[in-house]
Structure 1
Amino acid sequence: MRRAAVAAAVVAALAVVGGCATFPDEGPRDWRPKAEGQGELGGPPALSPSGEPAPPPSGQQPPPSSSGGSSSPQPCVDPDPQVVATCLAPVGAIAVLPTGDEALVGERTTGRVLQVKKGTPPREVTRVPVDPATGLTGLVLSPGYAEDRLVYALAGTPTDGQVLRLAPGEPPKPVLTGLPKAARMAVDVDGSLLVATGAGEGPLAGAVLRIDTLGRPAPGNPDPASPVLSRGVSAPGGVCVDPMDRTVWVTDRAGSRDVLHRVTPGTLGPPAWTWPDAPGVAGCAVLPGTLAVTERRAGALFVLRPGDNGTFTGDPQPVLTGTYGALSSAATAPDGLLWLGTANRDGGRPGATDDRVIRIQPPAGGGGSAA
């Protein structure tokens, strides 16, 4: 796909509320707070924009096996200038670093956390023990990252889902345990951690949780003793927050359709947007005036423009369709660019340099139907 087409397709912004609602949670609480520590995650590699799949040059590093990345010293290079990192395992999460040109990337099936930057080979920072069936699905920077260099990860282990604290030179430490394995994570505007969990057994299933970095219910929750902000989630694909109006958005795969929820305290109401064709909604990101949702099965980026009172304006259209394949993760950068991750090696049709991390100018558009 032409570079101009890709640039035109880039989404401009997503919106999410870092809501701090309060409502009671019923039943026993399975969360266990842990003490927070300090540390440094070392310097991340730099990234830059890229585009569509293309055959890699000779001598490139082969795609990683399911047990980890390739050990070949030869570089894996993608000719697309918007591609930042290549030949990865399926990308489960991206956390853009303050510089804007580098990021931490979580490989879903291996649990590796890599620092990536354009023109620099990915560098492994740490490895999180995961169950490959669910894997590493969330990475966020600590609210005080500039000072403490801490990162929080969301991982499905053989026994449960866990929020983990990652500090340099230390093994991953649990902050919140006992979660359903299928979960997604984001950071609220006040520094609280937002965790959307899939349906299942237990008091923390099928809910949007709001906790502090020690795993305790965040101040301002409806029930001060409960981490639950809202209930009614089925199989979350992503969580994102609009820093301007503090709106929290959750993408969800609900039976025969995919939906987008505007999170409200208590029980989620009707979807704010519906995809009757169930394109496999995944990560979401907010840019000024724009909400972008990655679609795995459709291999596209869906762009909506939030309006007043939970409505949307304009005619949403999918963009980047078929350009990079299955899109799994999305994150915004301080410089306004949009970072995307692919999951073509996760049951899709991988190209020669999959899986990849891409950095693009945000697009405008969207496609589906109002709730």
Structure 2
Amino acid sequence: MPRKTRTLAPAAAFAVAAVLAVPASPATGAAVTPPARTAADPAFDFTKPTIAATGLTVPWGLAFLPDGSALISERNSARILQMKPGSAPTEVAKLSGVTPTGEGGLLGIAVSPTYAQDGYVYAYYTSASDNRIVRFKLAASPQQEVIFSGIPKNSYHDGGRIHFGPDGMLYVGTGDAGRTANSQDRNSPAGKILRMKPDGTAPPDNPTSGSVVYTLGHRNVQGLAWGPGGVMYNVELGNNRWDEVNHIEAGDNYGWPNVEGTGGEPTYHDPLAVWATREASPSGGAVAGDTLYAAALGGRRLWTVPLDGKGGASGQPTAVLQGTYGRLRTVAVGPDGWLWVMTSNRDGRGQPAQTDDRIIRFPKVAR
């Protein structure tokens, strides 16, 4: 059920301008007084990058196996690569039935929280008829079990991020598939965050009995993350004005297409931070300590958002890596404790100095 928008702290919802100076309310444009903590305090040293992998072709998803190695999905090739510490990525699986068109293809991947027992890897991909989720065991041509299908597809707004949450459930970010009415249709899986058991069925404690819909009113969800205490966040791409970071709460309605950004309407849950679309187009998201990191495609930077630990922002976001590596698709905290950032430059949307896609790792800040 939708709930009334909670009252945010004075700087919990604000627009981020090209020059980050005084935060402003996107609803009124009026300046607001920032709290004592005025910027994110990054836990990582962005002056000491390590190039972990190069030569990738439109990588999209990133997940980690229990041995510390990374799995990487390539959107157009339908390949899954494994990168062990100190080694170059090698192909460990290639999925069948993937139809890469526009923004669709092999998108998010996730590793079963009980991988040591079941060996399952999960993937979200675009088929000839829909977007779907499969699980399989790593092999050259794996046997793919479809656990959920029928998510509307298009050449854009396919969502695609999947993650297992702290509760062991699989969370899925979907897009509206270019049909805005999908987002407010509770019977459509498009424009939603879905929550399901590892076998694709609805958990009994979901907001609506028998439904995998967890939240609605989203435009194109491509980032999911959890902070301390299991507080959940998403990042999603807006239309012409505002991209969003949201605190995700079961059953809430996030407004699209009736509201873009902060609307202040009691029916909808307002975002905790917004950016002008030219500065973000956010995809992956990750939380480390009291900071959320959001990878920006169009903005070609990494946003750092200070969090209050209760689902709000505690100050003003700041940007790092502006234009350094081009379009950023995915960000994750690895089992090594470093921040992993993956680029997405080889899909015809502009090239930085290098012409391949890569993974860059950043160490923790020495305290």
Give TM-score scaled by structure 1 length. Answer: 0.73
User: How far apart are 1:146 and its partner, in Å?
Assistant: 2.2
Residue of structure 2 in register with 1:151 after alignment: 121
- What residue in structure 2 maps to residue 168 of structure 1? 138
Name the SS for the 1:318 alignment partner. strand
Matches within 5 A, 1:92-103: 92-100=60-68, 102-103=69-70
Assess, with a 3 A threshold, how the Cα gap between structure 1 residues 217 and 362 changes in structure 2: closer, same or farther: farther
Q: Counterparts of 1:153 and 1:197 in 2: how far apart (Å)?
A: 13
Shift of 1:276: 2.1
Shift of 1:10: 9.9
What's the counterpart of residue 298 of structure 2?
297
Residues 64-90 of structure 1 show CA distances to partners (whole Å, capped at 9, x for unaligned) of xxxxxxxxxxxxxxxx96111111111
Q: What's the counterpart of residue 359 of structure 2?
A: 357
| 1:248 positional shift | 1.8
Match of 2:58 among 83, 86, 90: 90
| Structure-2 change in CA distance of 1:136 and 1:143 (3 Å) | same
Aligned residues: 291
Match of 1:231 in 2: 216
**Aligned match of 2:229 in 241, 245, 255?**
245
* 2:150 alignment partner in structure 1: 178
Larger relative contact order (CA 8 Å, sep ≥ 6): 1
> What corresponds to 1:276 in structure 2?
276
Q: Structure 1 residue aligned with 2:108, among 125, 131, 138?
A: 138
Structure 2 counterpart of 1:221, one-letter code: N
1:341 aligns to what?
Answer: 342
Which residue matches 1:110? 77
Q: Using a 3 Å threshold, how does the CA distance of structure 1 residues 91 and 362 change in structure 2: closer, same or farther? A: farther
Q: Is contact 2:193–2:214 with CA below 8 Å preserved after alignment?
A: yes
Q: Distance in 1 between matches of 2:317 and 2:272?
A: 13
Q: Deviations over 1:235-285 (max 9, x none)?
A: 11211222x222221111221221111112221211111102442111001
- Report if the CA contact (8 A) 1:344-1:355 is conserved: yes
Q: Is the 8 A contact 2:41 2:306 kept in 1?
A: no
Distance 2:149 2:66 in 1: 28
Q: Is the 8 A contact 1:230 1:264 kept in 2?
A: yes
1:137 positional shift: 1.7
3-state SS in 1 of match to 2:116? helix
Counterpart check, 1:12 vs 2:43: yes
Structure 1 CA distance, aligned partners of 2:46 and 2:93? Answer: 26
Q: 1:185, CA displacement in angstroms?
A: 1.3
1:292 aligned counterpart, secondary structure? strand
Secondary structure of residue in 2 paired with 1:310: coil
Give the drift of 1:107.
Answer: 0.7
- Post-superposition offset of 1:118: 4.8
**Pair 1:140–1:204, CA change in 2 (3 A):** same
Distance 1:277 1:231 in 2: 21
- How many angstroms does 1:189 deviate by? 0.6
The answer to whether the 8 Å contact 1:85/1:117 transfers is no
C-alpha distance in structure 2 between counterparts of 1:324 and 1:10, whole Å: 21
Amino acid across the alignment from 1:12: A
Which amino acid in structure 1 is aligned with residue 175 of structure 2? G
RMSD of Structure 2 on Structure 1 (CA) = 2.5
Classify the secondary structure of the residue corresponding to 1:254.
Answer: coil
Q: How does 1:175-214 map to 2 (within 5 A)?
A: 175-181=147-153, 182-183=158-159, 184-199=161-176, 200=179, 201=182, 203-214=188-199
Whether the 8 Å contact between 2:62 and 2:73 is mirrored in structure 1 is yes
What fraction of aligned residue pairs are identical, expressed as a percent?
A: 34
Q: Which runs of 5+ in 2 are unaligned?
A: 1-39, 255-268
Q: Which moved more, 1:127-136 or 1:222-231?
A: 127-136
Is the 8 Å Cα contact of residues 258 and 275 (structure 1) preserved in structure 2? yes
Name segments (4+ residues, structure 1) moved above 6 Å: none
Q: For 1:361, give the aligned amino acid.
A: P
Please list, as runs of the form range in 1=range in 2, the aligned pairs for 1:252-331 lying within 5 A after superposition. 252-256=236-240, 257-266=242-251, 267-268=253-254, 269-278=269-278, 279-331=280-332
The CA distance in 2 between the partners of 1:247 and 1:335, in whole Å, is: 22
Shift of 1:164: 1.0
Residues 111 and 12 from structure 1, CA distance in 2 versus in 1: closer, same or farther, beyond 3 angstroms?
farther
Q: Contact (CA 8 Å) 2:296, 2:327: kept in 1 or not?
A: yes
CA distance in 2, matches of 1:315, 1:240: 19
TM-score (norm 2): 0.73
Q: How does 1:41-60 map to 2 (within 5 A)?
A: none
Separation (CA, whole Å) in 1 of partners of 2:136 and 2:46: 29
Find the aligned partners of 1:288 and 1:171 in 2 and give their Cα distance: 38
Unaligned runs of 5+ in 1: 1-8, 14-48, 52-79, 365-371
Q: Deviation string for 1:314-355 (max 9, x for gaps)?
A: 432101112211110112122321111110101220544611
Is residue 10–residue 360 contact of structure 1 (8 Å, CA) maintained in 2?
no
